[in-house]
Structures are given as structure tokens and as C-alpha cells.
């Protein structure tokens, strides 16, 4: 166990954390209709071909393609209309040579037909016959049986975060109930004598609690269930009691503030007392966010985040969000991002990752990432930012005009 401020790089921190934390994914069965953004916890196979009957993709006439070969506006093919395929019904017609059937988009292709002529390519002669003005190829304007998905195919695998179209794809196959991961409970504990709830008026020297709220929102956005605890003053006994309660009730514990090394910063000692192996690292080579604590206590991840709201958010993305994903068994998804050119030089030093908040601006048809500078404790640098640019560990900085990836907020 390390009790000193020994700085680790983010890759080292990830490795260390993985060595000591084994996630257990809990699952529950829920209605597919209610599963938006949930993480699938089972492989799903199709029990049928989709579609399970051949369907027309247009309004027109189902035909045998061979009956239309060589047809032109000047020399059309004449076909007898044997009937109409009703929507939602099996086509009970059997076409023979020289026959066509009226079909609508999504309707079943009758036996004897293998293509559909769009209605725009036909001319009605009378109630019982049409002229076809252009040939169709076999299979034209037809969705074949199993063309969407085949019976037995793997539809979606475990770890998938379900999107609106995934829900549509599942209900199309009659899969109306699925196993998903239970969101891990993430305890959020803001600490600090100066921090007061936001619905209170503040006395000089006090500030309203920002982190409980941004962290809870981040937990929810990452698929966890936040549990917010009352603000704890900088009092060792009170912090110990609150942390022990949070550790007992939640799957992951996040302490905000008090994570540094001054005599007022008690997070590291309190976390060390929560269980084995305890504190894995104290200090991350990241700016902003160096005073970070990563711990595993009796099988549960515990994080000490810096109180500065900008740092807290950067460090949440780096260490807490991946832990939530692991508890969900979720696939790693790359964050939404855009490419842009950097509007100003950014200084850094090798051996440290920097995260710079940027606004996106379009100039002459090109996206530019404009750093939102400000002292480190300004929540509105985050509010005004569209995303964040990372200066890699091994880079001494970035130059104006460089192409950069902006990870969107
Ligand atoms: P600390 O990590 O305790 O050194 O705090 C760093 C800075 O973050 C200090 O200026 C704190 O006042 C501020 N801070 C601590 N907790 C919060 C919070 N919950 N919301 C907003 N700012 C905070
Ligand atoms: Mg403090």
C-alpha cells in the first residue's frame, strides 16, 4: 500500500486498477421497450428469418421478370392483372405466364412472381390489364426472405449499449424481454468545510456544492446509479463514518475534494481504512487532476477526486467512468469526437497528460478548437467548452494549426 504522493501515469494507473479489481456484473430482465442506453448482458440470436416472406419495396406490379424483358415505352409488354395482394395478408394468388398482381410497399410477393415493376413504369389499359414500359431484373424491388437477418444469426452481443434502432431490431424479431446489466450504485461524497448545499444562501468564504451534482450527472450518463450523500466537513471522524456507510451501501465510492497532501486533506487516510488492499495510487500525472486517489477496498473501487470542478470532471472520465463500464460489462465505446485544428499553442511537459477544454469554431469551412483558458477552479470554463483535447503523455505540447481530436462533452 502506498501512502505517499507517488505519481502514476494514466496507463500505469489503469493496469494497477485492473490487477486489483474484478467486476461482477449483476443482471436483470426488463422489457426491451424500456432498455434504451442499458447494457445487454446476454447474446441474442434471431429465432426467425427477417422478413419471413418476400416483400415489395415499392408500389407496383409483381411480375415474372422474364415477362418484361425487352419492354420499352414504344413496345411495351402487355400483362393481365390477376388481382391485388392485400397488405397484412398472405398473397393467395399464383401467377402464370403473362400475369401481374397489384402490390403495395411491404406487401407479399405472390407465387410465380420474382420482381416488381414500379407503378410509374406502367400504364393501365383497362381494369384487367397493364402495359409495362421498362424491363425489371429478377429480384428487382424485392426484399428476399432472410435478407434483413437470418434465423440463428447473432443479433446483438453482451456489452452492447442499446440504441433506439437496436430496440427496433429486437422487437422486429419478437424479442420483447432481455437481460441487461444492473447499474452499479455509485456513492458520491462531497467534502469540505466551505461547501454548502446549493439551495442555501452562502456566507463569505463559502461556496455552493458543484461536484455532487456534476458527478451524479456523469454517473448517470455513464450508466451508473448515483447515490448522493450529505456534504461532510473536514473532520476525520465524520468523514470516516460517512465513507464507511457509503462503502457498505454502494458498489463504487467517489469522494470529492480533500484528496491532496495538506494536513486538511484526509481522504487518503480515510480510504486506506476502508479495506484491503486499500490505496493503489495517490497522484496521477494529469493536468488538471494530479491529486487523485485510486483504491480498491474489500473488492469495491474507491476514488478520491480533486475538489476543483474542472479536475473532478477530467478525472471522473479517466478513472471512474471506466470502472462503471467494467461493472456493467460494457464494451468500450469511443467517445463522440470531431477532428479540428488547434487555434493556439498549448504548453505541456513530457510525462504528463494534459486535458484542455476547447470551444469549436468554424472558420472558412474548417473546424477550429479554441482553448477556453482560465484559472483551474472555474466551472464556466467547462460550461463554455464543447469538448476536450488531450495532450499525450509523451508530447511536450501542441502547436497552433496542429490537427487534434476533440472529445465532445
Ligand atoms: P480540495 O481538493 O479540497 O483541495 O479543493 C480544491 C478546490 O475545489 C477548493 O477551492 C474547493 O473549495 C473546491 N471544491 C471542493 N469541493 C467542491 C465542490 N463540491 N463543489 C465545488 N467546488 C469544490
Ligand atoms: Mg478541501
SS3 state of residue 333: coil
Q: What is the C-alpha to C-alpha distance for residues 396 and 393, in angstroms, rounded to an integer?
A: 8
Q: What is the C-alpha to C-alpha distance for residues 341 and 315, in angstroms, rounded to an integer?
A: 25
Give per-residue pLDDT as tens, 101-111. Answer: 999 999 999 99
Q: Is 182 exposed, middle or buried (0-12, 13-18, 19+ CB in 10 A)?
A: middle
CB of 381 shorter than 6 A to ligand 1: no
Residue of 5, 190, 192 with the most ligand 1 atoms within 8 Å of its CB, for mutation = 192
CB of 122 shorter than 6 A to ligand 1: no
SS3 state of residue 219: helix
CB of 141 shorter than 6 A to ligand 1: no
Q: Which ligand is nearest to the CA of 207?
A: 1
Query: Following DSSP, what letter does each residue of 175-189 receive, concatenated?
Result: --EEEEEPPPEEEEE
Give per-residue pLDDT as tens, 66-85. Answer: 999 999 999 999 999 999 99
pLDDT band at 350 (very low <50, low <70, confident <90, very high): very high
What's the angle, vertex CA 71, arms to CA 70 and CA 74, rounded to 5? 120
CA of 30 to the centre of ligand 1 (A): 39
Mean pLDDT of 113-120: 98
Mean pLDDT of 44-57: 98
Contacts 24+ apart (CB under 8 A), 1-4: 1/272, 1/277, 1/278, 1/279, 2/279, 2/280, 2/281, 2/282, 3/268, 3/269, 3/272, 3/279, 3/282, 4/282
Give per-residue pLDDT as tens, 149-161. Answer: 999 999 999 999 9
* pLDDT value for 1: 41
CB of 196 shorter than 6 A to ligand 1: no
CB of 292 shorter than 6 A to ligand 1: no
Distance spanning both ends of the chain, measured CA to CA: 35
Q: What single-letter DSSP state applies at residue 162?
A: P
Q: What is the C-alpha to C-alpha distance for residues 340 and 327, in angstroms, rounded to an integer?
A: 33
pLDDT over 50 (residue 3)? no
CA of 281 to the centre of ligand 2 (A): 19
- In 3D, which of 55, 138, 67, 145 has the Cα closest to residue 104? 55
Give per-residue pLDDT as tens, 276-311. Answer: 999 999 999 999 999 999 999 999 999 999 999 999
* pTM of the predicted model over 0.85: yes
* pLDDT value for 72: 97
Q: What is the mean pLDDT of the chain?
A: 96
* pLDDT value for 4: 52
Q: Which ligand is nearest to the CA of 311?
A: 1
Amino acid at each position: 500500500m502506498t501512502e505517499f504522493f507517488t505519481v502514476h501515469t494514466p496507463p500505469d494507473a489503469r493496469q494497477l486498477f485492473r490487477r486489483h479489481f474484478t467486476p461482477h456484473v449483476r443482471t436483470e430482465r426488463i422489457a426491451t421497450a424500456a432498455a434504451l442506453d442499458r447494457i445487454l448482458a446476454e447474446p441474442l440470436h434471431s429465432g426467425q428469418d427477417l422478413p419471413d416472406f418476400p416483400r415489395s419495396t415499392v408500389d407496383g406490379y409483381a411480375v415474372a421478370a422474364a415477362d418484361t424483358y425487352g419492354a420499352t415505352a414504344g413496345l411495351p409488354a402487355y400483362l393481365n392483372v390477376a388481382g391485388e395482394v392485400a397488405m397484412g395478408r398472405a398473397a393467395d394468388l399464383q401467377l402464370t405466364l403473362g400475369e401481374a398482381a397489384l402490390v403495395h410497399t411491404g406487401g407479399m410477393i405472390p407465387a410465380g412472381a420474382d420482381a416488381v415493376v414500379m407503378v410509374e413504369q406502367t400504364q393501365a389499359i383497362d381494369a384487367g390489364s397493364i402495359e409495362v414500359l421498362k424491363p425489371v431484373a429478377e429480384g428487382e424491388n424485392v426484399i428476399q426472405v432472410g435478407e434483413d437477418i437470418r434465423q440463428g444469426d447473432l443479433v446483438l452481443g453482451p456489452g452492447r449499449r442499446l440504441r433506439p434502432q437496436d430496440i427496433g431490431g429486437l422487437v422486429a424479431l419478437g424479442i420483447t424481454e432481455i437481460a441487461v446489466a444492473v447499474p452499479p450504485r455509485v456513492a458520491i461524497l462531497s467534502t469540505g468545510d466551505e461547501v454548502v448545499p446549493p439551495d442555501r444562501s452562502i456566507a463569505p468564504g463559502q461556496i455552493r456544492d458543484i461536484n455532487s451534482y456534476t458527478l451524479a450527472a456523469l454517473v448517470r450518463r455513464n450508466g451508473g446509479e448515483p447515490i448522493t450523500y450529505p456534504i461532510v466537513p473536514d473532520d476525520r471522524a465524520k468523514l470516516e463514518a460517512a465513507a464507511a456507510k457509503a462503502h457498505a451501501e454502494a458498489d463504487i465510492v467517489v469522494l470529492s475534494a480533500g484528496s491532496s497532501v495538506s494536513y486538511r486533506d484526509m481522504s487518503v487516510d480515510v480510504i486506506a481504512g476502508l479495506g484491503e488492499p486499500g490505496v493503489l495510487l495517490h497522484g496521477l500525472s494529469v493536468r488538471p487532476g494530479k491529486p487523485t486517489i485510486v483504491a480498491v477496498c474489500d473488492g469495491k473501487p474507491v476514488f478520491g477526486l480533486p475538489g476543483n470542478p474542472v479536475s473532478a470532471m477530467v478525472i471522473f472520465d479517466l478513472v471512474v467512468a471506466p470502472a462503471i463500464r467494467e461493472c456493467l460489462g460494457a464494451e468500450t465505446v469511443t467517445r463522440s469526437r470531431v477532428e479540428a485544428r488547434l487555434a493556439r499553442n498549448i504548453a505541456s511537459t513530457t510525462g504528463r497528460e494534459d486535458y484542455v477544454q476547447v470551444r469549436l469554431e468554424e472558420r472558412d469551412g474548417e473546424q477550429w478548437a479554441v482553448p477556453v483558458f482560465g484559472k483551474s477552479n472555474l466551472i464556466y470554463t467547462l460550461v463554455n467548452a464543447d469538448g476536450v483535447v488531450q495532450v499525450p503523455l509523451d508530447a511536450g505540447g501542441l502547436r497552433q494549426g496542429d490537427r487534434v481530436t476533440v472529445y465532445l462533452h
